[in-house]
Chains A and B, each alone.
Chain A
Amino acid sequence: MDQVPQSSNQSDSNKWLVRILLIIGIGIPVLIELFTFSGLVSSHFFGEAPSATNDRRSETSAKENIPLVKQGDTLFSDTDYPLLVDTLRLEIYPDQWRFIMELKPLWKPNRERSEGVKLTFQNLVTQQQSLEENRVLVWTDNTLDEAEITWILPTGQRPQNAKVTYRSTRQDSLTGTLDIKRHFEFGHVPARYKQ
């Protein structure tokens, strides 16, 4: 084959350039792929097996033993008046994010003694700030209505936790009122885009 002739000193400097290019341009890629391969293989054979129950998020909160609140959970299941988290949702509008929580009593308390329950959210903490607004929900005796709380959050803020007091009033004077203070840690809150 006839090659385009090159002056010899040009092809000499060219030779060095090509050598460097081959070392850097192909050598580094080959190294990267070898590292990747060995990383994959060793994590497959020697890495920690991921366990199905081991949710990374629950690991962090497990430290404080605070249950994560998720949609579908039942709150205060240890009382006469447990509450179901019917909806837990972030609605995303261009200028604000709304955190919506809908609660409803799970059943009518079978002991006719309860006069109802009052739930007070004392604050709501997001990643960057704490909204110190009291929000109160009240269910009087025998209603099963759903109640909703909405917080308006600055865009980009997700709810993290809240301080809540739960007060149920009983008719029997022996126990009077039951006060529980709890700390809610929110788990995954599904987000919905709104126009």
Chain B
Amino acid sequence: MTFIDNYPKSAKIAKANFLVAFIALAIGGLFGLIQALHRTGWARNIISSAEYYTMLTGHGVLLALVFTTFFIAGLFVWGVTRSLDREPENMAFSWSWFWIMLIGTLMATVAILGGFVEGSSIRAAVLYTFYPPMQAHPLFYIGAALLIIGSWMAGADWFRSYLAWRKEHPDERIPLQTYMTLFTMLMWYVCTVGVALEVVVLLIPWSLGWVNQIDPLLPRTLFWYFGHAVVYFWLLPAYFVWYSILPKLSGGRLFSDSMARIVFIIFLILSTPVGYHHQYADPGITVGFKFYAMATTLLLLLPSLLTLFTVVASMEHGAKQRGGKGYFAWLGKLPWGEPAFAGCALAGIMFAAGGFSGIINAAMNINILVHNTIWVPGHFHLTVGTAVALTFMAISYWLVPQLTGRKLKNKTLALIQPYLWFLGMTLMSNAMHRGGLAGIPRRTAEPNYSQFDFEAVFGTISEIKWQIAIGGILLTVSLVFFLWVIFNSWFRGERADKPVDDFIPAALSGPEHAPKILDNIKLWVLLAIALVLIAYSVPLAEMVMDGLFSPGAPTIPV
């Protein structure tokens, strides 16, 4: 008996979400390869340089927004169902959020892909950050709005399950997986307010032609109000996996349940007030608020370091259960031959590297050195592109069998896949970081303009380009392996009663050691809102008073 037998309805909806996620991953990954080859000059004939931006939008949206959101929805359906031991309260409601998200995604995708059709008026080469001055077809913005609304409903669905469970278990602690889901979604509610306002109040009327002027700063600010928290919306589900599943995969148990809860609380309260760290170079925002954002950003290192400690301690516990010894020798006892474990562990190692380059980005002064250079994609391919994406891929090797009741096929390919991703990403991301130090811009189809040579700090630019292209190719091969393994296991796998060992043992230090206040949802939400108000109320009020749809501030009579 595995998940699909115990919770057939949840399994079905989780599978539907995963299917959409994997299709988005396949298309987005292909686009990534073409971009890498185009901008390094390896292959300029696949697309034109004008189409590059359509493709880049497709890559960013399909991977960073669609793949992540759908995978997360599937993962949370699984986690809430199994940890509360109940299926969704109302399947019609569950399917309706899925369909709303899917329809929104299809609308936005059609709008983007329209850019490849010559003469089409439906286009959306606005990149996944989609703020003005670039404008997309209304279909794109409406689609994005539907995706967000659907995700809100999904969150409501999990809260509903929780409340129903609470009625039957008035005195129990919230089970950890549900706790992590609820706190992630609370953060999501706080931050998506910004992007929803941006899209519905500003962008949709503008793209429909109802207003024809727009103030560039306000929508940017609303976007970045959402834009940093969204990275934690991607990351926290990876933490969910690292806290609640990875210890088991290492052969042990979670070290501390309360540590996991504390970490999620810190993310809820600090994720949103840091948005200005994406606007260090924007005029119109007082430096004091930027400084506040920098300080809170650096504080956010704390929960990630706590996670590092707790997860490594849990893995060490696991390795010692398997006979590991010493300070470091136990590392050899970890199950490096199991694809799900290896993928999560490699993703975690890469996240540490991403954290280091993130500290550079976060520092107001050094940021200027790398701002808008290809360093930035170098950074986030370590974080969302690997820490999140590789964790999701790896844990699929463990989840898909539970959801389908079929055994994993092509285990050798599955094992090679995360190592290949790790190697490919090291090549690509290392070269992107170095290219950024040389000043090579991001989001540029042909960065090599004439009469100017970028100068590498060491080595040569052409070597950097080689490294990006080879890295991109290895990543794509790894992605093909992943898709092949999942496709084969899902549709051609051998049926089994218990395709994987899906038992998750209790934490070493369980919720009974966690202070009760950690489960006080209202308190933490109020604190989060208060910190957001401190960061955003004054600057936003200034911008709104400047005029919603008028670029630039009107002169003030004295």
Within 8 A of B (CB), among A124-142: 127
Chain B residues within an 8 Å CB radius of A17: 337, 412, 415-416
CB of B135 closer than 8 Å to a CB of A: no
CB distance from A56 to the nearest CB of B (A): 7
With A2-B501, A33-B426, A127-B450 given, is the CB distance from A24 to B419 under 8 Å?
yes
**Which of the 9-residue segments A40-48, A79-87, A107-115, A144-152 touches chain B?**
A40-48
CB of A154 closer than 8 Å to a CB of B: no
Interface residues on A, range: 20 to 34
Chain B residues within an 8 Å CB radius of A56: 453, 455
Closest to A38 in B: B458
B422 touches A158 (CB 8 A): no
Among B251, B346, B419, B451, contact of A1 (Cβ-Cβ < 8 Å): B251
A40 touches B422 (CB 8 A): no
CB of B372 closer than 8 Å to a CB of A: no
B458 touches A21 (CB 8 A): no
The distance in angstroms between the C-alpha atoms of A127 and B322, with both chains bound, is 67
B459 touches A21 (CB 8 A): no
Chain B residues within an 8 Å CB radius of A47: 457-458
CB of A194 closer than 8 Å to a CB of B: no
Among A1, A15, A21, A39, contact of B457 (Cβ-Cβ < 8 Å): A39
CB of A188 closer than 8 Å to a CB of B: yes
CB of B420 closer than 8 Å to a CB of A: yes
With A18-B415, A39-B459 given, is the CB distance from A25 to B420 under 8 Å?
yes
Chain B residues within an 8 Å CB radius of A39: 457-459
A158 touches B450 (CB 8 A): yes
Within 8 A of A (CB), among B492-548: 500-501, 505
CB distance from B15 to the nearest CB of A (A): 23
CB of A36 closer than 8 Å to a CB of B: yes
With A4-B501, A33-B430 given, is the CB distance from A57 to B423 under 8 Å?
no
Chain A residues within an 8 Å CB radius of B458: 39-40, 42-43, 47
Among A3, A4, A25, A57, contact of B451 (Cβ-Cβ < 8 Å): A57
With A3-B251, A32-B430 given, is the CB distance from A25 to B423 under 8 Å?
yes
Closest to A4 in B: B501
Closest to A11 in B: B337
Within 8 A of A (CB), among B451-471: 451-453, 455, 457-459
CB distance from A192 to the nearest CB of B (A): 14
The count of residues in chain B whose C-beta lies closer than 8 Å to any C-beta of chain A is 33
Chain B residues within an 8 Å CB radius of A18: 336-337, 415
The distance in angstroms between the C-alpha atoms of A57 and B423, with both chains bound, is 37
Chain B residues within an 8 Å CB radius of A57: 451-452
A36 touches B251 (CB 8 A): no
A43 touches B457 (CB 8 A): yes
The distance in angstroms between the C-alpha atoms of A39 and B434, with both chains bound, is 11
The distance in angstroms between the C-alpha atoms of A158 and B452, with both chains bound, is 12
The distance in angstroms between the C-alpha atoms of A26 and B412, with both chains bound, is 17
B427 touches A32 (CB 8 A): yes
Among A1, A24, A127, A160, contact of B252 (Cβ-Cβ < 8 Å): A1
B426 touches A29 (CB 8 A): yes
B422 touches A25 (CB 8 A): yes
CB of A66 closer than 8 Å to a CB of B: no
CB of B321 closer than 8 Å to a CB of A: yes
With A40-B457, A42-B458 given, is the CB distance from A15 to B251 under 8 Å?
no
Chain A residues within an 8 Å CB radius of B452: 57, 188
Beyond A18-B337, A32-B427, 19 additional pairs, beta carbon < 8 A: A1-B251, A3-B501, A4-B500, A11-B337, A14-B415, A24-B419, A24-B423, A25-B346, A25-B422, A25-B423, A26-B419, A29-B423, A29-B426, A32-B426, A33-B426, A36-B434, A57-B451, A57-B452, A188-B451
29 contacts between A and B (CB under 8 A): A1-B252, A1-B321, A1-B322, A1-B505, A2-B501, A14-B337, A17-B415, A17-B416, A18-B337, A18-B415, A21-B342, A22-B336, A24-B423, A25-B418, A25-B420, A26-B346, A26-B419, A29-B422, A32-B426, A36-B430, A39-B459, A40-B458, A43-B457, A43-B458, A47-B457, A56-B453, A158-B450, A160-B451, A188-B451
A residues sitting closer than 8 Å to B (CB atoms) are 1-4, 11, 14-15, 17-18, 21-22, 24-26, 28-29, 32-33, 36, 39-40, 42-43, 47, 56-57, 127, 158, 160, 188
B residues sitting closer than 8 Å to A (CB atoms) are 251-252, 318, 321-322, 336-337, 342, 346, 353, 412, 415-416, 418-420, 422-423, 426-427, 430, 434, 450-453, 455, 457-459, 500-501, 505
